[in-house]
Structure formats: C-alpha cells, structure tokens
Structure 1
Amino acid sequence: MLIEISVLLAFGCLSGVTTVLFGFGGGFVTVPVVYAFALADPENAPSAMHVAVATSTAVMVVNAGSATVAQLRTGRLRRDYLWPLIAFIGLGAVLGSLAATMADEGVLRWLFVAYLALTIADSVARKGFVSMRDDGRPRALGGFTTSAGGTGIGAVASFLGVGGSVLTVPLMRRKGLPMADAAALANPLSLPVAVIGTAVYAFAATGPAPGAAHLGYIDLVAAGALLCGSLPAIAVTRRVVGRIPDRAHAIAYLALLVIALVAIVVR
C-alpha cells in the first residue's frame, strides 16, 4: 500500500503540472495509473476501467477548479470562448456519463485508446496546432461548433473521464489562440464534465464491493493521494504559465498524449 500511495502522489504532482500547462485536469495522467492499480486488485479488476475513469473525474473537479481560480487573474479566461460553449459541454456530459456506466469494460478501454490515437494523428497532420495561424488573429466560435461541438465534447470527455481538454485545446488552437490561453480555457470548460461525471459515477447502481473505500465507482483512497500531490503542484506551476515558447508548449502537449497512449496500450 505504501508503494501504491507513493506512486499515486508522484502521478498527482504530474497531474497538477499538466492541469495548469495543458488543461488536462489529470485525466490522461490519472486514468492509466488508477487503471493499473485497479486491475491488480481482485476486488476492482472486473470494473477496473470504470474505477479509473470515475476516479479521474473526481480528481478533475478539484484540479480544474483550482487551476481556474489560479488563471482568473491572468486575463486568459475569455468569456466569448467560455459561454455558451460550457453549457453545451455540460449537456453532453450528462449523456456521456450515463452511457459510460453501462459500457463494456473492453469497449471503454479501446475507445480511450482510439480517442488518443486519433487526436494525436489529427494534431500532427493538420495545420494550426503545432504552429499558430499565420495572421495571428483569433477567430470566434461558430454557432454549430458551440452547440453540436460542445455537446459532443462533453459526451466524449465524460464517457472517457478525460475532461475534454484533448478536444477543447486543439479547437482553441485552430481558432488562433496561443497555447497558454487554450490550456487556460480548458480548465473551466472541463468543470461541467468533471462535476456531472463524478455525480453519476458516485451514485452508479453497480460498482466495487460494499465495504471498500469507494463511493460508487470512485476510489476514494486513490483520489485523495492524487490530490495531495496535485494541489501543491498547481500552486507552483501557475507561476511559469506564459513563459514557455508557444511551439514548444504545443509539442510538449502532443508528447504527453503519446505517453498516455503507450501506457494504456502496454498495460
């Protein structure tokens, strides 16, 4: 148990760093490590991926909320990119969370893998992510992107427990925003996914055996250890936001997605 807690604390620190720098909220860091530990536990193994996704959403509530507060003073949270997109993301999150509680374990795991792989390939193949648009002028979100796109982002993100930053960050990049601004916006946009997903998973009808340290599918011990590592990391990392060159920031984002993909596939 001591080794497990130590590993979770370390990954919690990493999730705090990625929350501020990339808007991940912890999902791509926490899902693979919680999945690995749940799979090794006979009690949790039958629902390992559900436990990983649920625990990730619970951690994201606190991480994304803390990062949002930290970013408020920077002026990076632009209202025109937040509203009404955040409302449609919340609507999609309800649908995705309910669907995830009924999904097969194998389906959930491989959809997570496919989601990562497609995102990486799209970001590398299409212009506008690694390097900003030539004119450097941000473009407004269209009505269809806000409504249909927002609902889709919420549904996919809550279904997979990843917060939505892997969709919102590329979206904001292609609208011409700097990487630091795109990552900052990803945190408040992840909050409805995290809150709604946590509520659904916490009161799921089926989950780990009664008596375990769980609330529905949420592993409370793992969530607590991850947060003990992430919150101090968020406080420290917010001081360096904006100092990283834009292109290097974007490449680092993609590199972390590749690491998460390898981790979940190998496991």
Structure 2
Amino acid sequence: MLTSFLALLFFGCLTGVTTVLFGFGGGFITVPVVYGVLTATARPGADAMHVAVATSAAVMVVNAVAAALAQWREGRLRRAYVWPLTGYIAIGAVAGSFSATLIGGTALRLLFAAYLLVTIADSLLRKGFLAMPDRTRPEPLTRATVTLGGTGIGFVAAALGVGGSVMTVPLLRRRGLPMVEATAMANPLSVPVAVSGTLVYALAPTGTGQLGYLDLTAAAALLLGSLPTIAVTRRITGRVPDRVHSVAYLVLLLVVLVAMLVMGA
C-alpha cells in the first residue's frame, strides 16, 4: 500500500511538470499510472481502466485550474482562442463521459492507445507542428473549428480522460501560435472536460471506485505531488526553445503509448 502511494506521489510530481509544460492537465500520466497501480494491486471488483479515466478527470480539475491561473498571470492566454471553444468542449465532454461508461475497459484502453498513435503520426507527418508556420500573425479559429471541432474535442477528451490537450495543442500550433502559448491555453480548455467528466463518473451508479468510479486516495496522492511542482515549473516554461518544446511533447506521448501497450500485454 505504501509503495503504491509513493509511486502515485512521484508520478503526481511528474504530472505537475507536464501540466505546465505541455498542457496535459495530468491525463496522459495519471491514466496509465492509476491503471497500472490498480492492476498491480488487483483490488477485487475494480474496473481499472474506468477508475483510471475517472480519477484522471478529477485530478485534472485541480491541476488545470491551478496551471491556467499561473499561465494567466504570465500573460500567455489569448481570449480569442480560449473562450469560443470552451462552451462547445463542455457539451462534447458530457456526451463523451456518458459514452465511456458504456464501453468495456479493454476497448477503452485500446482506444486510448489508438488515439495517442494517431496524434503522434499526425504531428510528425503533417506540417505545422514541429516548426511554426511561416506567417506574420496567428490565424483565427473558423466557425466550424469552434463548433464541430470543439464538440469533438470535448467528446474524445472526456471519454479517454485526457483533457483534450493532444487535440487543442496541435490545433492552436497550426494556427501559428508558439508552443508556450498553445500548451498554456490547453489548461483552461481542459477545465470543462475535467469538470463534466468528474461529475458523470462520480455519479455513475455502477462505479467500482470510492465515489462512483473515482479513487479518492489515488487522486489525493497525485495532487499532493502535482500542485507544488506546478508552482515551480511555471517559472521556467518560457525558457524552453520552441523546437525543443514541440519535440519533447511528441516524445512524451510516445513514452505513454509504449507504457499503455506494455501494461496491457
């Protein structure tokens, strides 16, 4: 039990770093970690993947709000990109959370891995992510991107417990925003996903966690590690070169993908 808590605490610290640097809010770290801990401890009756996704959403509520406030103080949030997407992401998140409760744990894990694989391939093969587009100023979001894109982002992000950063960061990146701003805005855009997902999973009548599908002990351990590191990491994020920032983003996604595949083997 102590070993599991210390592991969650350690990865909570890593979550804080990735929340600020990459806008993940914790999802891509907490889902594999909680899934791995529950699988290793073999808690009777636990639905490891659903509990992992639900707990990730709860952790993201706190992490994303804390990081968004820190990024706002640093002046990295652009209202023209954040606010149009927020409402549509929230709508999609509610539908995505309900849908996830109807999907089997194995299928949910495979969808999580597939989502990562597609994102990595898209970022490598399509221009505009690893290097900033050659334009004088960022492009505005189109109406279709805001409505259909925002709803789709919310649906997929809430269903997989990932906060949407892996869709919003490439989207904003290809609009001409530097990585430091694209990742910063992923945090406030993750808040509606996290809140919607947490409420749906917490109220699920068939949940196998301590509160619906939520594992409150795991969430507390993760937050105990993440919040202090968010406060520290926000001071250095602007010093990372843009190219290094974008490459590191993809490397981390690849590491998470490999971890999920290995744990599910």
TMscore range, shorter length = over 0.9
TM alignment of 1:1-267, pairs within 5 A: 1-43=1-43, 46-208=46-208, 214-267=210-263
TM-score by length of structure 1 reads 0.96
Aligned partners of 2:46, 2:59: CA distance in 1, in Å? 22
Q: After the TM superposition, which of the residue ranges 70-79 and 51-60 deviates more from structure 2?
A: 70-79
Extract unaligned runs of 5+ from structure 1. Answer: none
Residue identity in the other structure for 1:54: A
How many residues get paired? 263
Percent identity among equivalent residues?
63
C-alpha distance after superposition, 1:175-196 (max 9, x if no partner):
0000000000000000000001
Aligned partners of 1:28, 1:181: CA distance in 2, in Å? 20
Name the Cα RMSD after superposition: 1.0
Cα distance change on mapping 1:224 and 1:134 into 2, 3 Å: same
* Paired residue secondary structure (1:218): coil
Aligned partners of 2:44, 2:127: CA distance in 1, in Å? 42
TM-score by length of structure 2 reads 0.97
Aligned partners of 1:83, 1:201: CA distance in 2, in Å? 25
Give the Å deviation of 1:115.
Answer: 0.1
After the TM superposition, list the runs of 4 or more consecutive aligned residues in structure 1 that deviate by more than 3 angstroms. Answer: 41-46
The answer to whether the 8 A contact 1:50-1:217 is kept is: yes
Extract unaligned runs of 5+ from structure 2. Answer: none
Give the Å deviation of 1:63.
Answer: 0.2
Aligned partners of 1:232, 1:248: CA distance in 2, in Å? 24
C-alpha distance after superposition, 1:219-266 (max 9, x if no partner):
111000000000000000000121100000000000000000000000
* Paired residue secondary structure (2:238): coil
